């Protein structure tokens, strides 16, 4: 390439970093000439490079000014109660009016369904029953889809039904860092709306009562652990812990139904949805328990030093409770972003703060840890202790013996057959034990 022909330089690039990349390309190409209607730039000469950098700097300035003007105009419109767009909302009908005005009128029939939905939730009804009732009545979303839990929850939390509009306003603090604050602006009554038509569709007091009900159900406390390895395994896809994932049911080849308990990842593979990693609980426990019993069978491990805490057990328990709380908040933050209830910028900032706080709590636990010698016990006594241990006893012994229990990604392709190679157990003596392969004493296929 000998040169580039453009109309104006800012039609090709508007950031100084793009000019530097173009200069580096010119160095690799032993020269590059950029020609345009407003001048030429020889990127091999110092004068040409300086002129290109100056032109890019002015183009970047103009782009920043235009961006500021657009953001200011949109913010002023929002503060005046003029949202930029409504989208397709159930309960409203389109109005052929300028985009700067409220562009939707309530649709009487759908608006009555919306009011009944809010009254039902405020009276103690559930979202699932509401979805079922709307489906039986033949109601569909504005795009023609069947109502589901996420779409119904999004309807119940949309402030436009209460005559207001909630949006995120970006500000910078005294240190120049971006901060977002939630602002709610009242929407005026649409011009020309008949006097007998109710506006807003839902009374603000009723809307706030429903928000308290919906958010309270979503924040519900965590259930007690029902499986020994819950919270002790790590997903190799997203790095989050795996917990009890309920029961999975599928039909065998002979037509009979098989139900199996599952461990399921509590994290997200990306910002768009949940991580889909899960594994058969009974078969994973068989592999891990066999590895733990084998570890205690060795007399050197039965009498070895293990990690105890310098701080009190209450301090360590409080730190672990904080880590679990941060995990739950991370999951809720990802779900809110996936449902469209949390903007990208706020989601990223919240995730950054929670991850940093969780890392600090883990570092504090490590600082409180020091090797403390246990009383000597025979390997046989350790195995007997494992066999006789209850739920909490086995959990503590698994934590003592295992440094890491990792669930590897599921191989591509649909399959209900358990793959023992997905389970990787790293013992505290730093020896890796991988689950048995098919045909080497592995449990029968599901």
Beta strands in 330-386 (DSSP E): 369-372
Q: Specify whether the CB–CB gap between 113 and 135 falls below 8 A.
A: no
- The answer on pLDDT for 432 being more than 60 is no
Asked if 296 and 379 touch (Cβ cutoff 8 Å), the reply is yes
DSSP sequence for 15-61: SHHHHHHHHHHHHHTT--EEEETTEEEETTSHHHHHHHHHHHHHHHH
Lowest mean pLDDT among 11-15, 82-86, 282-286: 82-86
Nearest to 118 by CA among 149, 85, 162: 162
Predicted pLDDT of residue 266? 67
pLDDT given at position 130? 92
Q: In terms of C-beta density within 10 A (0-12 exposed, 13-18 middle, 19 or more buried), how is residue 314 classed?
A: exposed
Domain ranges of the chain: 3-78, 92-218, 223-304+375-446, 308-373
Whole-angstrom CA distances from 47 to 37, 41, 86 are 18, 8, 51
Instruction: Return d(Cα 166, Cα 186) in angstroms, integer.
Output: 9
pLDDT at 121: 92
DSSP codes of every residue in 217-250: HHTPPPPPP-STTTTTEEETTT--EEEEEEEEEE
What pLDDT digit, counting tens, does each position of 147-171 carry?
Answer: 988 899 999 998 889 888 776 666 6
* 173-218: pLDDT as tens digits: 666 676 777 777 787 787 777 777 888 899 999 999 998 888 776 5
Range from 110-119, 198-207, 285-294, 413-422 carrying the lowest mean pLDDT: 413-422
Q: How far is CA 13 from the centre of its chain?
A: 34
Mean pLDDT, rounded, of the chain:
76
Give the pLDDT mean for 225-251. Answer: 79
Q: Give the mean pLDDT of 375-380.
A: 47
What phi and psi, each to the nearest 5 degrees, are found at residue 167? -145, 165
Q: Per-residue pLDDT for 137 more than 60?
A: yes
Rounded to 5 degrees, φ, ψ at 153 are: -65, -35
Higher pLDDT, 120 or 2: 120
The CA distance from 115 to 133, in Å, is: 14
**Residue 138: band (very low, low, confident or very high) from pLDDT cuts 50, 70, 90:** very high
Rg (CA), the chain: 30
For range 273-295, the mean pLDDT: 83
**317 or 242, which is more confident:** 242
pLDDT interval class at 118 (50, 70, 90): very high
> Mean pLDDT throughout 16-34?
80
pLDDT at 53 over 70: yes
Collapsing DSSP to helix, strand or coil, 344 comes out as: helix
Read off the pLDDT of residues 287-345 as tens digits, 9 standing for 90 and up: 999 888 888 777 766 655 343 334 445 677 788 888 888 888 888 888 887 777 777 77
Output the pLDDT for position 309.
35
Strands (E), 47-134: 92-94, 104-106
**DSSP strand E in 276-359: where?**
278-280, 306-309
**Which 3 state secondary structure label does DSSP give 211?**
helix
CB count in 10 Å sphere of residue 195: 5
Assess if CATH 2.40.110.10 describes domain 92-218: no
Q: How confident is the model at residue 440 (pLDDT cuts 50, 70, 90)?
A: very low
Q: How far apart are CA 211 and CA 192, in angstroms?
A: 30
DSSP-derived pairing of the beta strands 369-372 and 33-36: unpaired
Per the listing, tokens 């009974």 go with: 282
pLDDT of 113 over the 90 cut? yes
Distance between alpha carbon 73 and the CA centroid of its chain, in Å? Answer: 32
Band (pLDDT 50/70/90 cuts) for residue 94 is low
**pLDDT-derived band of residue 111, with 50, 70 and 90 as boundaries?**
very high
The CA dihedral of 152, 134, 217, 143, to the nearest 10 degrees, is: -10
Which long-range CB contacts under 8 A does 334-338 form with residues at least 24 apart?
334/267, 334/268, 334/271, 334/274, 335/274, 337/271, 338/268, 338/271, 338/272, 338/273, 338/274
pLDDT of residue 156: 92
What pLDDT, on a 0 to 100 scale, did the predictor assign at position 117?
Answer: 94
More confident residue, 258 or 145: 145
1-16: burial string, b at 16+ Cβ within 10 Å, e else: eebbebeebbebbbee
pLDDT of residue 159: 87
pLDDT at 93 over 90: no
Prediction pTM value: 0.40
**pLDDT surpassing 80 at residue 229:** yes
Lowest mean pLDDT among 60-69, 138-147, 258-267: 258-267
**Stretch 33-61: mean pLDDT, rounded?**
83
Task: Supply 171's token pair.
Answer: 């500000």
% of the chain residues with pLDDT over 90 = 9
Q: For position 29, what pLDDT does the model report?
A: 74
pLDDT of residue 430: 43
Give the residue from 160, 397, 369 showing the smallest Cα distance to 294: 397
């Amino acid at each position: 390439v000998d040169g580039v022909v453009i109309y104006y330089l800012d039609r090709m690039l508007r950031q100084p970093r793009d000019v530097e990349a173009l200069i580096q390309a010119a160095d690799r190409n032993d020269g590059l000439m950029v020609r345009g209607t407003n001048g030429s730039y020889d990127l091999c000469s110092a004068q040409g490079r300086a002129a290109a950098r100056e032109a890019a700097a002015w183009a970047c300035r103009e782009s920043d000014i235009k961006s500021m003007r657009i953001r200011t105009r949109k913010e002023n419109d929002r503060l005046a109660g003029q949202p930029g767009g409504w989208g397709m909302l159930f309960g409203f009908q389109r109005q052929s009016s300028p985009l700067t005005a409220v562009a939707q009128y309530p649709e009487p029939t759908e608006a009555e369904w919306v009011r009944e939905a809010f009254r039902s939730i405020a009276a103690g009804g559930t979202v699932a029953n509401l979805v079922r009732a709307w489906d039986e009545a033949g109601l569909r979303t504005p795009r023609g889809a069947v109502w589901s839990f996420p779409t119904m929850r999004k309807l119940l939390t949309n402030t436009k039904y209460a005559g207001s509009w909630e949006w995120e306003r970006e500000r910078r603090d005294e240190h120049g860092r971006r901060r977002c604050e939630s602002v709610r602006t009242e929407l005026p009554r649409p011009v020309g709306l008949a006097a007998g038509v109710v506006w807003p569709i839902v009374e603000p007091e009723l809307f706030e009562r429903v928000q308290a009900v919906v958010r309270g159900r979503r924040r519900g406390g965590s259930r007690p652990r029902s499986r020994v390895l819950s919270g002790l395994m790590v997903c190799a896809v997203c790095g989050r812990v795996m917990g009890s994932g309920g029961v999975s049911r599928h039909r065998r080849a002979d037509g009979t139904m098989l139900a199996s308990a599952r461990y399921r990842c509590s994290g997200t593979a990306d910002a768009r949805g949940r991580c889909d990693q899960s594994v058969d609980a009974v078969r994973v426990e068989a592999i891990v328990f066999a590895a733990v019993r084998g570890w205690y069978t060795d007399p050197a491990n039965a009498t070895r030093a293990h990690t105890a805490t310098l701080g009190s057990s209450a301090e360590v328990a409080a730190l672990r409770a904080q880590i679990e709380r941060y995990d739950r908040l991370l999951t809720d933050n990802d779900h809110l972003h996936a449902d469209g209830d949390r903007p990208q910028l706020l989601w990223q900032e919240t995730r950054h703060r929670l991850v940093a706080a969780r890392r600090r709590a883990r570092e504090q636990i490590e600082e409180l840890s020091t090797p403390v010698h246990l009383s000597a016990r025979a390997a046989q006594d350790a195995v007997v202790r494992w066999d006789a241990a209850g739920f909490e006893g086995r959990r503590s012994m698994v934590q003592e013996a295992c440094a890491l229990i990792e669930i590897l990604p599921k191989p591509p392709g649909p399959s209900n057959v358990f793959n023992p190679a997905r389970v990787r157990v790293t013992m505290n003596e730093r020896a890796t034990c991988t689950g048995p392969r098919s045909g080497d004493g592995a449990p029968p296929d599901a």
